[in-house]
Structure 1
Amino acid sequence: MAGSPRLAARATLPHRSPAVAALCAVALGAGLLVAASPQAAADTVRIHDIQGTTRISPLVGQRVEAVPGIVTGVRTYGSRGFWFQDTRPDADPATSEGIFVFTSSAPTVKAGDAVEVTGTVTEYVPGGTSSGNQSLTQLTQPSVTVVSSGNPLPPAQVIDARAVPSRYTPAGDPAAQGSVNSLPLKPRSYALDFYESLEGMNVRIGTSRVVGATDPYAELWVTVKPGERPSARGGTVYGSYTAQNTGRLQIQQLAPLAESPFPQADVGDRLTGRTEGPLDYNQYGGYTLAARELGEVRSRGLKREKTKAQAKNELAVATYNVENLDPGDPQEKFDALARAVVTNLASPDVLALEEIQDDNGPTDDGTVSADETLRRFTEAITAAGGPRYDWRGIDPVDKADGGEPGGNIRQAFLFNPARVSFTDRPGGDATTATGVVRERGGAALTHSPGRVDPADPAWQNSRKPLAGEFTFRGERVFLIANHFASKGGDEPLAGHRQPPTRSSETQRHAQAASVNTFVKKLLSADRKAKVLVLGDINDFEFSATTQTLTAGKALKPAALSLPPAERYSYVFQGNSQILDQILVTPAVKHFHYDSVHINAEFADQNSDHDPQVLRFRP
């Protein structure tokens, strides 16, 4: 873990670099960079004077002299520097008493040192101003004098369920393009204001439930509100855009990983005892407790789920994002995914796969075939005791479908020919759209497998839907496998613009409209057509994307058949949420739906998505 690529990236990014620190601060509301003024503050200032009562320092750009405080935490890797805190707080709960000092090189101070710091007040935006993140008030180009050592640290501010407000954030100022930067902080009213009022201060949490498993970058998420929308398995469910989970907090540690390995935790585990340190804000999750003292993880023994096997007269259909699978992956990944198909998914009759890469993965040499990828995967399934699946798919045009450069990811169908047959209708390729015709009193595809409207601009540089026609016990079933555009580029939940801008939705809405139109063509040909739209939709069951998919009652999200506490397939920043979906036409009745939780809640993952299974009797 000490060689984590993400930590290495953080160390090499211009993260609070001296050049950035000396040049820029964030202007109120606008998110623009302005030159720092060399003007010195006329009077001696304290940390709460620097932090002020909004998110932007009233002294931004000024040089401040001999600011006193006690060092509460030191970071010697990545963004190097230290936090210090005033021991003489003011009476205003909106003003933080702590601040970060960016030193560039490893600091020479230690926790408990009483210091006086001279430096320039700047506002740094982690990830850059285009990220939508809030800014971090800090001192740069510092001159540090150690007055004494071994002093007691300022008492830690407790963050718990009683302290954190239930309302998440005020609405942004329309005059400032929706930014909350200029608004007075109300820490007793809003969670984001509460956390901002503690920026840089020494804080602590008690025993808390893990709601986001340890990731490869040595961080996890907890909730300090155990009763806030709990999932059935210990997480916190993301229920809507207007009901944020305010108790979530990211946990990192200050000690280098080489000195103190970060604990492994799954969702539902407990981080017990005392976790204490400065409250940071970073581009990878917003407010973060940078633990000087880290509690102990106690496992709750979370188990991977197993779905029920289909009955003889039930068709079982699943979707699974296998996270950039290609022949360059170790055999262990193929074997682990295969065991999941057999053991946890009970060998479904049809499996729609997302993120199947070409036969040499990210090597960018014009290869587009994925036959070797699918051969290795299906052989691993057979070796794990599963059926001998056949497969169908369409190779994309090189570099036309997005994803990892050179990987040419696409969707593919696996099917068990002993249980279900695939109706091959030739002529489908990367650029030819499949159509709908009437045949023997029902709907049929002109090309199977075929792509849905690949020339539509909605699918530019994105994965095109794959349609296939299947027959089960004499009944025709249509599947449309999808992998909609990702959420990359959306502003963060804890960003300065509230509500955040979700720019990625535009393409997903267009993609949903394209698929909805195609489903309606099938229903126009046969109103009783059994159609399943499935895959990584990259959006929630309550989203406008899903509403567009279901427009005209063409489809129904099967996830709505689950209790709210079980509606999730992915965990992001401590929120258990739906990204993977199966939607069905009205003729698909009396189905059983299962989100099979085998990855997203675990530190040890074979994919970051949980597969979905639907069983019904055609």
Structure 2
Amino acid sequence: MRSTTSRRAIWAALAGLTAVLPLQAADLSITQFRVRGPSGGNDEFVELQNTGAAPLDVSGYKLNASNASGTTGTRLTLPAGTTVAPGCFLLLANGASSGYSGSVVPDIKYSTGVTDDGGLALLDGSGATIDQVGLSAGSAYKLGMPLASLGSSNTDQGYARKTTGNGLPQSTGDNSADWVKVAPTAPHASTSPCAVLGRSLSIADATISVRNGDDQQMPFTISLSEPAPADVTVHAATADDTATVAAGDYDAVNTTLTIPAGATSGTVEVTVHGAKAAGPDRAFRVNLSDVSGGDVTIAKASAIGAILNEIPIAAEIWQVTGHGQVSPLVGKRVSTHGNVVTAVGPAGFTIQTPDNRADDDRLTSNGIYVFTSSAPAVKAGDVVDVEATVDNYFNLPELKNATVTTTMRGARLPKAVTFGNNVPSSDPNALSCGETNFQCYVGMRVTIDNGMITTGNLRFSNEPFAEVYVTANGKRSLRQPGVRYTVPVPDGVNLPNWSGNPQVFKMNTADFGAVAPDTPFNAGTTFRAEGVMSYAFGMYTFIPTKIDIKKAATLPRAVDSRPFYAVRVGGLNTERFCDTDFNTTFTCSGGDTEPTADEVKLKTQRLSAYIGGVLKLPDILSVEEVKSLQVLQGLAKQLGDDYPVQYEAILQPGHDPSGINVGFLVRTDRVRVLDVRQLGADETWQDQGQTAFIHDHPPLLLTAEVPSIVGRMRINVISVHPKARQNVDKTGSTADRDRQKRFLQAKSLATQVQAIQTDRKNRLAPLLVVGDFNAYQFSDGFTDVVGLISGRYDDNQNLLKLGTNLVKPALWNAVNSVPPDDRYSFLFTENFGNIQGQSPRQVPTHQVLDHALLNTVAQGLFLQMKYGRGNLDAPVQTLDDSATATDVHKAIGSSDHDGFVVDLLTLPLGLF
């Protein structure tokens, strides 16, 4: 291992070798944009304009963005065949949820937003930046003084570029001078009228590479937007920048150029001197002035002449990767010797520094990917010398345009990093790689001894079974107690922030041939693997070279059969179980149309397979998100056709504008219904100045008798489905309103629960409150819905204060009996912003939303609670494929929740 002192000395020697990133010549400019609009943070657009005299092919051009911390990423790559005509526009817009709301139809959409205080850049097909604008000093993209952020107000405001006298976009190299705030915005698309541009003169940037000491001529093209009727003359003169005449980098030019009448261009050449050693890229300028003839103005008066030193720099891998996501040697030609090939893929391979030369800095990686574009001719264990250009591919340092020489075969592979309980870190305040959890391992060998796949395969492009999310500690990625990560803990709330599970990462199983392409994996599968860390499309990704499945999870995974002397009560959110009629304020489906008759039939069949084959035919089943009694009766009939049971459908309409309700399926062959009634259905509150119902889905109380050991037993079951929590962790009036409504709903139900359990005739009857509570088994820091209904509300852990608990004795949550790693009924992908990597970090989080609260009597009879697995753990493709199954596999994908059952021991009626 190298000492820290020697390492710092090497870094000091390389400190000046940063790449020159010039603005390359292009007639395409950003001319208007907004990064927030009336619909919120995703209501964005970016307007581009071709200010040249000829059509411009922009295939492969990229729209990049930066946040205020300088983390960059590609938002959009323009598809092949995209062309912008002279003076015409191209409109790019965010098509994500609550995205672009303007009336001008965009030409191309992207899906990841730009932060309010970030920046934008336009890159050409080679990756060179051709235009950029920033909204903060910390943005990686900006010119001169950045613009001021327009804040977080959801109004129609943005920035537009000023124009010169001849109608061309102004570009002085200073954002603050070139842009002006506009409100409202007025974007242009390819269908908008094209601008009529006056005759103008422009000089294009130029680039030259030096590999030895030879002199070269660097031509600068000076162009007219259209031919002039008379000769046009213009003065051109060089000016020093990082390249200087005194240092012998180039020869000064001070000349007058004439473009003859009818011609459109001329050339000024500058002699550039070569170099004999590796060194920094340098640049100078050529400036135009004193144009005359032909009624011409100067549109672009200055060009950059970039001298790229491509004499390779001798460097270790850890010097190439550096501390950040972008290599300190990006764009440079490097040579690195005597490194070991650790993994080989179809278009490249990874190399790693041998252990005896490995860096002693944990924040830099000793591995890197060499992109070859086709199958490389190396094998794991080869020792190679590589000369290549350092690239930045989606913020992954890699080597491209490589010359590879194998000097030895069969070398011992470098020691692998072991991922397990402590690495990667589960503490966001002490990440394994400083600012990220994985950057310092990218390109390096990794072993995982106790891995768990936490999601089924996602789809990617034409791959039906692509990446999965995993942990290296053998545990699910569960939602844990605390306020959501990145959300400030409210004043007066004694809770920490939940970590956000930074230890979760992706695995692409087939990239290096560890498994066959399109191999499905169910969540819950455990494995051991060896491989390398990579970084794909903004997400850190583990690519195994070898994987051993320790235990493969199967689907569906049914609950145990009901014990003989037990009554089974269950809950299932059916996920928008709708009929075909659009007779509500909003569609029941949540889409543009209601399902067809065939789709309703298929949904009914899949739910029957789940209730019968996975939940094993509960005696009483609470069902949520059901449109009508008729569609629920159809499910009851389907269950009777599929299984030897008889179910009665029970549903009473509520107040939901999309028509979804709560109800029951009751086995009439085992249960006798005594009474059904809604609780608090007519209660109201002041909703932003309007009187409105508190409950969209009023709780539904079922009182029944069930078989006991000898005779019958009275039981009360309440089906619930409070308001969703999609705005709870946010700020603003909508979040405040939603929190208050959830609080009032829970308080209303708590009052009803207390009245039931203190009613003399129910004093010894088991009471269960079941369903989709849209809340966790602990407080989120704002309103603990489950705690309030159960009588366990703690004001110290909640923003909204209750005072005294309403339910006494408190109810018990049967979720607490479930093994910790199995406590989940819903899978939600959390977006935590740019905290790790280029893109907002997506983390699949398993959480309990579906609960069973038991009174003291029910708790005393409690046998077990089980979740039936058929929806959350399956690959996305399997969810679709299972629709055509003819057995219990048809249950897979029947809902976006996993349902549950609770078994209670039955006792003789005479004991009450």
Q: Same fold (TM over 0.5)?
A: yes
Q: Give the deviation of 1:472 after TM superposition.
A: 1.2
**Separation in 2, partners of 1:17, 1:370:** 52
Instruction: Name the structure 2 match of 1:614.
Output: 902
**Separation in 2, partners of 1:371, 1:236:** 37
Q: Give the deviation of 1:392 after TM superposition.
A: 0.8
Instruction: Name the structure 2 match of 1:351.
Output: 621
Q: Give the deviation of 1:337 after TM superposition.
A: 3.1
* Residues 1:107 and 2:359 are matched in the alignment: no
Q: Give the deviation of 1:260 after TM superposition.
A: 3.6
Instruction: Name the structure 1 match of 2:559.
Output: 306
**In the alignment, which of 504, 508, 514 is matched to residue 744 of structure 2?**
514
* Residues 1:214 and 2:472 are matched in the alignment: no
**In the alignment, which of 253, 257, 263 is matched to residue 509 of structure 2?**
253
Deviations 1:96-134 (A, max 9, x none): 234568x9xx93463748654435658x5xxxxxxxxxx
Larger radius of gyration: 2
- Number of paired residues? 507
Name the aligned partner's letter for residue 337 of structure 1.
L
**In the alignment, which of 531, 543, 559 is matched to residue 779 of structure 2?**
543
**Separation in 1, partners of 2:689, 2:618:** 34
Deviations 1:425-454 (A, max 9, x none): 6xxxxxxxx7xxxxxxxxxx465xx79879
Instruction: Name the structure 2 match of 1:204.
Output: 446
- What is the 5 A alignment of 1:8-47? 32=139, 34-35=141-142, 41=280, 44=313, 47=317
Instruction: Name the structure 1 match of 2:868.
Output: 597
Q: SS at the partner of 1:382?
A: helix
Instruction: Name the structure 2 match of 1:91.
Output: 360
**Separation in 1, partners of 2:737, 2:345:** 40
Q: Give the deviation of 1:415 after TM superposition.
A: 3.0
Name the aligned partner's letter for residue 535 of structure 1.
G
Instruction: Name the structure 1 match of 2:611.
Output: 341
Q: Does the CA-based 8 Å contact 2:428-2:502 persist in structure 1?
A: no
* Residues 1:295 and 2:547 are matched in the alignment: yes
Q: Give the deviation of 1:89 after TM superposition.
A: 4.6
Name the aligned partner's letter for residue 515 of structure 1.
Q
Q: SS at the partner of 1:394?
A: coil
Name the aligned partner's letter for residue 701 of structure 2.
E
Q: SS at the partner of 2:745?
A: helix
**Separation in 1, partners of 2:598, 2:136:** 47
Instruction: Name the structure 1 match of 2:438.
Output: 195
Instruction: Name the structure 1 match of 2:699.
Output: 467
* Residues 1:414 and 2:669 are matched in the alignment: no
**In the alignment, which of 651, 662, 669 is matched to residue 392 of structure 1?**
651
Q: SS at the partner of 2:897?
A: coil
Report the TM-score when normalising by structure 2: 0.45
**Separation in 2, partners of 1:162, 1:67:** 34
Q: Give the deviation of 1:95 after TM superposition.
A: 0.4
Name the aligned partner's letter for residue 520 of structure 1.
A
Any stretches of 5+ residues in structure 2 without a counterpart?
1-75, 80-109, 113-120, 145-206, 208-241, 243-278, 282-308, 379-383, 460-465, 483-497, 579-596, 706-712, 788-792, 794-804, 829-842, 879-891, 907-911
Instruction: Name the structure 1 match of 2:332.
Output: 64
**Separation in 1, partners of 2:455, 2:533:** 21
Q: Give the deviation of 1:346 after TM superposition.
A: 3.6
* Residues 1:118 and 2:394 are matched in the alignment: no
Q: Residues 464 and 302 (structure 1 numbering): CA distance in 2 closer, same or farther, change over 3 Å?
A: same
CA RMSD of aligned residues (A): 5.4
Q: Give the deviation of 1:533 after TM superposition.
A: 4.1
Instruction: Name the structure 1 match of 2:534.
Output: 279
Any stretches of 5+ residues in structure 1 without a counterpart?
1-8, 125-135, 173-184, 357-368, 402-407, 426-433, 435-444, 492-500
**In the alignment, which of 321, 335, 339 is matched to residue 573 of structure 2?**
321
Q: Give the deviation of 1:383 after TM superposition.
A: 1.6
Q: Give the deviation of 1:390 after TM superposition.
A: 1.1
**Separation in 2, partners of 1:243, 1:264:** 30
Instruction: Name the structure 2 match of 1:168.
Output: 426
**Separation in 1, partners of 2:599, 2:899:** 20
* Residues 1:583 and 2:853 are matched in the alignment: yes
**Separation in 2, partners of 1:458, 1:557:** 35
**Separation in 1, partners of 2:776, 2:137:** 30
Deviations 1:166-198 (A, max 9, x none): 8523528xxxxxxxxxxxx755xx8x8552311
**Separation in 1, partners of 2:132, 2:665:** 54
Q: Residues 58 and 594 (structure 1 numbering): CA distance in 2 closer, same or farther, change over 3 Å?
A: same
Q: Tell me: higher relative CO, structure 1 or 2? Use CA pairs within 8 A at least 6 residues apart.
A: 1
Q: Residues 150 and 267 (structure 1 numbering): CA distance in 2 closer, same or farther, change over 3 Å?
A: farther
**Separation in 2, partners of 1:159, 1:506:** 46
Q: Does the CA-based 8 Å contact 2:445-2:531 persist in structure 1?
A: yes
Q: Does the CA-based 8 Å contact 2:510-2:517 persist in structure 1?
A: no
Q: Does the CA-based 8 Å contact 1:269-1:297 persist in structure 2?
A: yes
Q: Give the deviation of 1:520 after TM superposition.
A: 3.2
**Separation in 2, partners of 1:294, 1:506:** 50
Q: Does the CA-based 8 Å contact 1:420-1:470 persist in structure 2?
A: no
* Residues 1:225 and 2:473 are matched in the alignment: yes
**Separation in 2, partners of 1:11, 1:354:** 44
Q: Give the deviation of 1:482 after TM superposition.
A: 1.3
**Separation in 2, partners of 1:50, 1:107:** 20
Q: Does the CA-based 8 Å contact 2:823-2:848 persist in structure 1?
A: yes
Q: Give the deviation of 1:48 after TM superposition.
A: 3.0
* Residues 1:381 and 2:624 are matched in the alignment: no
Q: Does the CA-based 8 Å contact 1:73-1:83 persist in structure 2?
A: yes
Q: Give the deviation of 1:308 after TM superposition.
A: 4.8
Q: Does the CA-based 8 Å contact 1:569-1:610 persist in structure 2?
A: yes
Name the aligned partner's letter for residue 758 of structure 2.
K
**Separation in 1, partners of 2:813, 2:747:** 16
Q: SS at the partner of 2:438?
A: helix
Deviations 1:476-504 (A, max 9, x none): 7362421653669989xxxxxxxxx9x99
What percentage of residue pairs aligned between the two structures are identical?
17
Q: SS at the partner of 1:295?
A: strand
Q: Residues 562 and 424 (structure 1 numbering): CA distance in 2 closer, same or farther, change over 3 Å?
A: closer
Q: Does the CA-based 8 Å contact 1:240-1:542 persist in structure 2?
A: yes
**Separation in 2, partners of 1:35, 1:120:** 21
Name the aligned partner's letter for residue 612 of structure 1.
F
Deviations 1:258-283 (A, max 9, x none): x94333334554435x5423432656
Deviations 1:323-349 (A, max 9, x none): 455555486664343233234434223
* Residues 1:144 and 2:393 are matched in the alignment: no
Report the TM-score when normalising by structure 1: 0.63
Q: Residues 346 and 109 (structure 1 numbering): CA distance in 2 closer, same or farther, change over 3 Å?
A: closer
**Separation in 2, partners of 1:170, 1:143:** 33
Deviations 1:113-161 (A, max 9, x none): 8654435658x5xxxxxxxxxxx4446xx96243447986994663435
Q: Give the deviation of 1:417 after TM superposition.
A: 4.7
Deviations 1:522-556 (A, max 9, x none): 15645526764433345432332673432226354
**Separation in 2, partners of 1:479, 1:155:** 61
Q: Residues 270 and 11 (structure 1 numbering): CA distance in 2 closer, same or farther, change over 3 Å?
A: farther
Q: Give the deviation of 1:514 after TM superposition.
A: 2.6
Q: Give the deviation of 1:66 after TM superposition.
A: 3.7
- What is the 5 A alignment of 1:435-584? 445=679, 447=681, 464-473=696-705, 477=716, 479-482=718-721, 484-485=723-724, 509-510=739-740, 512-523=742-753, 525-526=755-756, 528=758, 532-544=768-780, 547-550=784-787, 551=793, 552=805, 554=807, 555-570=811-826, 577-584=847-854
Instruction: Name the structure 2 match of 1:498.
Output: none
Instruction: Name the structure 1 match of 2:88.
Output: none
**Separation in 2, partners of 1:41, 1:535:** 65
Identify, as 1 or 2, the structure richer in strand.
2
**Separation in 1, partners of 2:408, 2:684:** 68
**Separation in 1, partners of 2:375, 2:690:** 54
